[in-house]
Amino acid sequence: MPMITIEKVSKWYNPQFQVLKNCTTTVEKGEVVVVCGPSGSGKSTLIKTVNALEPVQEGTITVDGLNVTTMKKDLPKLRSRVGMVFQHFELFPHLKIVENLCLGQTIVLGRSEDAAKTKAMKMLERVGLTAHAQKYPGQLSGGQQQRVAIARALVMDPICMLFDEPTSALDPEMINEVLDVMVELAKEGMTMMVVTHEMGFAKKVANRVIFMDAGEIVEDAQKEDFFGHPRSDRAQHFLSKILAH
Amino acid sequence: MFSNFDYDVIWRSLPYLFQQGMVFTLTLTAIATVFGLILGTLIAMMRLSSSAVLSGFAVSYVNLMRSLPLVLVIFLFYFLMPYVGQWIIRSDQPVQVGAYASTIVTFTLFEAAYFSEIMRAGIQSVPRGQVMAGYAIGLNYREVMRRVVLPQAFRNMLPVIFTQTIVLFQDTSLVYVLSITDFLGAASKVAQRDGRLTEMYLFAALVYFLICFTASFFVKRLQKRISIIR
């Protein structure tokens, strides 16, 4: 059974503007899928529909066999099992790093303060930021904040992870520290859907690459095929621009 | 002109002015701020909700309150509240509501309208991504509001909330229309009794000025500190 299925999904922001056009794809368990495409192509919107942060008007999305599109009451529970990392980190600035990591655990999962803290410290160690546990997000660099954001998702024991341009807001010298954590995760077999322009990352760990343009999934191929011989003109054009240097 | 001033009248009436007058003024300010802020936050959330009924109610409430002079509202509530009370508990006669209780309810409801506009701006100042992040870890609407949005909204708006409280502190003097002994009321009563109008009103003005000026000074400092944190 696939971890994520997206079937014939369409979304309109208003009757005139369609952001997603009949998108269909699946992500198998343990698979790493990279979503790329020019800006405004709907890739961020697509990934946010997976945990229903963006509602859709047509189509069906399931996560771990559960229909997300019709879900109401159990939605928070499902979201807590789907880790999400944002372009602008979105750590809670009024909470310390360790509190950022405990909030979901105590409120949503009902873990005790102590258990949550232990788990938080374990994940901070994993991303190499134990020393910063008592600081506020504003005191950390962008790269550090994004690693904390990944840890915040991991403490919830997610069944899959969504990354929405996790390195786009970072200074170049900080991109690798975040990518390293993601590569590590991928190697451990985490199911991941990653919106990114980092083609190096895609070549290294992705199983499949989805190319989107103007709200459509134009190409959905194995990594080797996508980089080796993209079928569509639009994907070829995109790749030639992004890999020019 | 100051040569025939009787400073002793101030000195003699200090306990009355502060222990009765100022205590009431500060109590009213504190209660109206705390409950006005709570109520105002609820109204702000209603106003920003997607329900047309809730936001319509909130808009009407705020517009109504902000379109009426406070003195008028104080009067109106004082005369209307006994009948509203009668209607609520279905009693035969109007319910006795003292001037004291009446002003507390009035100020709370009136300030709620102003605080709701402040909190609305505060809630809107929290980036949408924060709300998304809250939902993404599995919080529901109430938890997102309570744990993520409102603490930040409150922190961002703290200087404005304090400024509004200073204005409220001054506005409490309007309770004189119900002959309540707030600080100005107390000063006024002594002034009338002893025929020392100039001394008492000048002294009252000085006290109001010192308190408000000092408070404003600290609000400005707070504002600077907050802008650095952000």
**Which of A92, A154, A159, A162 to probe by mutation at the B interface, max B CB count within 10 Å?**
A92
Q: Which amino acid is at A230?
A: P
| pTM score of the predicted model | 0.90
3-state secondary structure B175-218: HHHHCCCCHHHHHHHHHHHHCCHHHHHHHHHHHHHHHHHHHHHH
What would the DSSP string read from start to end of A60-106? EEEETTEESSS--TTHHHHHHHEEEE-TT----TTS-HHHHHHHHHH
pLDDT (tens digit, 9 = 90+) per residue, A113-153?
999 999 999 999 999 999 999 999 999 999 999 999 999 99
**Is ipTM beyond 0.90?**
yes
- What letter would DSSP give residue A232? S
B228 touches chain A (CB under 8 A): no
Q: Which two tokens stand for residue B54?
A: 């809730």
d(CA A29, CA A52) in angstroms, rounded, equals 20
Return the percentage of chain A with pLDDT > 90, whole number.
91
The reported pLDDT for the residue numbered B188 is 94
Q: What residues of A are in contact with residue B135 (Cβ under 8 Å)? A: 53, 76, 79
Q: What residues of A are in contact with residue B147 (Cβ under 8 Å)? A: 92, 103, 107
d(CA A140, CA A135) in angstroms, rounded, equals 8
Tell me which residue has tokens 């006795």. B96
Length reported for chain B: 230
Record: contact A84-B129, CB cut-off 8 A? no
**Inter-residue contact B31 to B104 (CB < 8 Å):** yes
Q: What residues of B are in contact with residue A93 (Cβ under 8 Å)? A: 152
Domain ranges of chain B: 7-229
Record: contact A91-B139, CB cut-off 8 A? no
B69 touches chain A (CB under 8 A): no
**B window 114-153, beta carbon within 8 A of A:** 127, 129-130, 132-140, 143, 147-148, 151-152
The reported pLDDT for the residue numbered B85 is 85
| d(CA A127, nearest CA chain B) in Å | 19
Which of 3.30.70.20, 1.10.3720.10, 1.10.3210.10, 1.20.1630.10 is the CATH number of B7-229?
1.10.3720.10
Record: contact A94-B152, CB cut-off 8 A? yes
Residue of A nearest to B131 (CA): A90
Q: Which amino acid is at B55?
A: S
B53 touches chain A (CB under 8 A): no
Record: contact A80-B132, CB cut-off 8 A? no
Q: How does pLDDT run along chain B (230 residues), one tens digit per residue?
A: 667 788 888 899 999 999 999 999 999 999 999 999 999 999 999 999 999 999 999 999 999 999 999 999 999 999 988 888 888 888 888 888 889 999 999 999 999 999 999 999 999 999 999 999 999 999 999 999 999 999 999 999 999 999 999 999 999 999 988 999 999 999 999 999 998 999 999 999 999 999 999 999 999 999 888 776 55
User: Crossing angle, helix A142-154 and helix A113-126, to 10 degrees?
Assistant: 130
Residue of B nearest to A54 (CA): B132
Record: contact A156-B143, CB cut-off 8 A? no
Q: What residues of B are in contact with residue A152 (Cβ under 8 Å)? A: 137
The reported pLDDT for the residue numbered B226 is 77
Neighbours of B95 (CB within 10 A): 14
> Quick one: how far is CA A92 from the chain centroid?
18
The reported pLDDT for the residue numbered B90 is 87
> Has residue A100 got a pLDDT over 70?
yes
d(CA A153, CA A101) in angstroms, rounded, equals 8
Contacts of A86 (CB under 8 A, 6+ apart): A149, A164, A166, B129, B132, B133, B136
Dihedral Cα A84, A85, A86, A89, nearest 10 deg = 130
d(CA A195, CA A176) in angstroms, rounded, equals 16
Neighbours of A143 (CB within 10 A): 20
